[in-house]
A and B are shown apart, each in its own frame.
Chain A
Amino acid sequence: MIDNNEHLSNLNFFGKITASVTHELNNVFSIINEYNGLLEDQIFMAESELTMNIEKLSRIQDRLDKQIARGENIIRNLNKFAHSTDHESIEFNLNEYLENIIYLTTRLANLKKIKLNFDNAIEPITIVNNPYEIMKNIFLVISYLLETLRSQSEICFTIENNEKLSMIILVLKPDTENFPANTADNLKMRINSDMLDIGLIEPDKMQIMIPNKSNVNKF
């Protein structure tokens, strides 16, 4: 049974992600709507002038294809996110889920003019854990950093792995910028410490440790 605070925190997480992603999807539909209008304009002109600008039509079709692909990508990521609640404990590729949550939070980061970069590992990093909880806690970390870092910052994510746990390494750019004082301590108060742990390795380098529960039960 989850307590009321956790229930609210889950709702808040789902609300923020779906609000942001559906806004992005609405942008795609708005652009498609404008291209559709442009096609109507072209048809109207072709009817009155009896000529068709094939080059222009081809350009519109190409742009429509790109927006449809963008929309499909948004839906695929939202669907993956929604399915992250299917199992409490499952073997999954951490790369995929980290990429997913970074993708879903990119628009929020863009609004703050902060860049999120993910360096996807070549080999799958397979762990046993709760993918939804991992994503929620990484989201809490990213949200906190979006609140505290200055605009134009860039956060680069990579994953390192060993037998007992996986580590997501966050490096801050430009090189002159450091994580604000007490970042790790403040984050520890926000996250679920059963799911992950956080520590600063260097002033501009932080690690998020995620246990592989096929090997260990908790930190």
Chain B
Amino acid sequence: MLPELLRVALLGGILATDRAAGWNLMLGQPLVGACLAGALLNPGPEWELWALRIPLGVGVLLQLLLTDPALPAAQRPRDAATAGVIGSSVAILCLERVHPFLSVTTGGILWVLVGTIAGLLASVAGGWMEASLRARNEISARRAEELALEGRVSSFEALYWGGVGRIFLRGATWSAAATVAGVAASAVLLPSVARFVTGPRAGLIFAVLLGVAYASGFHTHVRVFRRGLGWATMGAVAALLVMLRLHGGGP
């Protein structure tokens, strides 16, 4: 598991830097993080059918659930950047290790659920850690000003690059640690409740979670904008016409 964790840590560090240091290239979005983690972790040929679809499912659900239409200052502290990586990694690593102990056939949906819930919990816990990072930054900013006033420009630069390194290391450590915790918790919990883990039950919870995700998407893309409902209706009608044309009738 160590090589996988190193890849998770590297990816988590890069995505945390994108989000917190100011790259802001969209790498830190849950969909991107989850899919990249899925592409980096290869659970072996026997899992090939699910290995790339599970990260996609986790990424889509987390993208809809963790996209907040409020301005950043008004948002609740959530670490969405590493949530996708952690959710996807927990799902893939558990799939390989825990799935043989379960009798469920609809494994894809079950592991998408596990990954999504792990990602949601990780986003909340990661958000709590933001406060400590900001406090550390405040101390560094004061020291940076002192260095500038003393004319020690190179030391100022070194201090600033140290701040970038801190963000990377924090993201890397958090991603790896939360993945280990998620895999361990799943490995302990799921086999002990194996008789409750059935296909229909996983399907029901997945459907409800999908409904919540689409409600969140509706809130983000339609409700907060003037005339959003009208444009959404136009989009729905256009897609419906295309589908009817392609399928030559109803679903």
Do A and B make up one complex?
no
